[in-house]
Amino acid sequence: MSQLELVPQNVPQHVVSTEMITETSVSETVIDVPQRNLTQESFANKPHKVTIKRVMPVYTSLSYDRADRYWEVIISNPAFKNLATNESQIMKAVGGYAIDTSIIKRNVVASLLPNYVDISDFENFQDEDGWKYKVNKRRAFDDYISLRWCNQKQNFYQPLVIRYKKNGTKKPITQNLCPYCPYTKGMDLNTIFHGVDDSSYMHHVCKDHGVYTTGNEMPIPVFGKTAKGLVAVCGICGNTCNLSVDVHADNLNNCLISYFRHCFDKHKNKRQNRDANEIKREAQEIKANRHNLILENLIVSKV
């Protein structure tokens, strides 16, 4: 039997079993397909599914001192202290034990550090490759992202910079700048700008940096160790998420992607399905508190 002859002659034309398909022919199970349609032409015309790999942020040793200082601020936060008080009990409930979080602090903080990039960084790129850069009006009263995991009232999702260009249609292509991914001069700007229409910005900021589309932060997890290794325990449902971290690596890596993905997949609706009054109240609190935000440059030297 050739690779394209998936249906033996003694089998009814409209029934094809998974066992009858060779591994080298096709990876999908074909059910209830007439034999006459399983031709080389139909396979040749079948569109191929293209998977776009997400670009992962790159953190270097230049951020070590900054991450250490940032962590000291986070652990002084009352919310974090409350978790630390109960972490032994929480870890025992999931069959593990608490750890010294200082061994993973740099990898935890990596995804929370703002990049402090604003519109002035793109003055020389206006109209390059057709892109135009502008300030996001929704963040007009916020200069920078304030300290994360410190009970701050701010929209941590909205970008500071937006770029757009015409593509021959009525609606231009729009991309948002990630407020967190490290930025260096000369880098490929396509790695820190993410599409709006294809939801790549949403998936990136939510799953890589732990923020809901509502602007709220995902809750601080409890860190510990189980038989699976280092884990982050969700404070909402108690689910354990593996921490992908090499404490001996030279470069920082975001070890919380598994945890952020869990919160996005399992708990985002609770935030998004708020009633109008709650959304309005939160917006008012953010606006009223904008002059009291604790920014990193008041405490931590930027690197």
Domain check: are 294 and 233 in the same one? yes
Listed as own residue / partner, the contacts of 92-98 with beta carbons closer than 8 Å and 24 or more positions apart are 93/238, 94/224, 94/226, 94/231, 94/233, 94/238, 94/240, 95/226, 95/227, 96/224, 96/225, 96/226, 96/227, 96/231, 96/240, 97/224, 97/225, 98/222, 98/223, 98/224
| Whole-number pLDDT of residue 49 | 43
In a domain, 221, yes or no: yes
Domain check: are 71 and 36 in the same one? no
Compute the average pLDDT of residues 2-17: 32
Domain check: are 74 and 209 in the same one? yes
Domain check: are 128 and 10 in the same one? no
CB 208 within 8 A of CB 202: no
Pairing of strands 229-233, 222-226: antiparallel
In a domain, 52, yes or no: no
In a domain, 190, yes or no: yes
Domain that holds residue 40: 1-47
Q: In what order do the strands lie in the sheet with 240-242?
A: 97-98, 222-226, 229-233, 240-242
Q: Rounded CA gap, 24 and 3, in Å?
A: 7
**pLDDT confidence bin for 271, thresholds 50/70/90:** low
Count of CA atoms in the C-beta half-sphere (13 A) of 264: 19
For the stretch 93-108, pLDDT in tens is: 999 999 988 888 888 9
**pLDDT confidence bin for 303, thresholds 50/70/90:** very low
Domain check: are 207 and 88 in the same one? yes
Domain check: are 255 and 157 in the same one? yes
**pLDDT confidence bin for 25, thresholds 50/70/90:** very low
In a domain, 303, yes or no: no
In a domain, 96, yes or no: yes
In a domain, 208, yes or no: yes
Percent of the residues in the chain that have a pLDDT greater than 90, as a whole number:
37
| Whole-number pLDDT of residue 292 | 65
Domain check: are 108 and 184 in the same one? yes
Domain check: are 43 and 103 in the same one? no
Rg of the chain over all Cα atoms, to the nearest angstrom: 24
| Whole-number pLDDT of residue 127 | 93
In a domain, 56, yes or no: no
Domain check: are 9 and 89 in the same one? no
Domain check: are 37 and 173 in the same one? no
- Which regions of the chain does DSSP assign to beta strands (E)? 97-98, 132-135, 161-165, 173-177, 193-195, 222-226, 229-233, 240-242
For the stretch 106-138, pLDDT in tens is: 889 888 988 888 899 999 999 999 999 999 988
- Structurally, how many domains does the chain consist of? 2
Residue scoring higher pLDDT (151 or 199): 199
Q: Rounded CA gap, 162 and 93, in Å?
A: 45
**How far apart, in Å, are the Cα atoms of 109 and each of 23, 80, 149?**
44, 14, 10
Positive or negative, the CA dihedral 59, 62, 63, 64 is: positive
CA 299, distance to chain mean position in Å, is 26
Q: Rounded CA gap, 284 and 282, in Å?
A: 5
Tokens of 104: 């993973």
Q: Rounded CA gap, 212 and 209, in Å?
A: 9
For the stretch 38-75, pLDDT in tens is: 344 443 444 444 444 555 555 555 567 888 888 988 88
Q: At what angle do helices 200-209 and 257-272 cross, to 10 degrees?
A: 120
SS3 92: helix
Domain check: are 20 and 136 in the same one? no
Compute the average pLDDT of residues 220-226: 94
In a domain, 54, yes or no: no
* Residues 85, 90, 92, 98, Cα dihedral to 10°: -50
Percent of the residues in the chain that have a pLDDT greater than 70, as a whole number:
66
Domain check: are 20 and 110 in the same one? no
Q: Rounded to a whole number, what is the distance in angstroms from the first to the last CA of the chain?
A: 64
Q: Rounded CA gap, 170 and 180, in Å?
A: 31
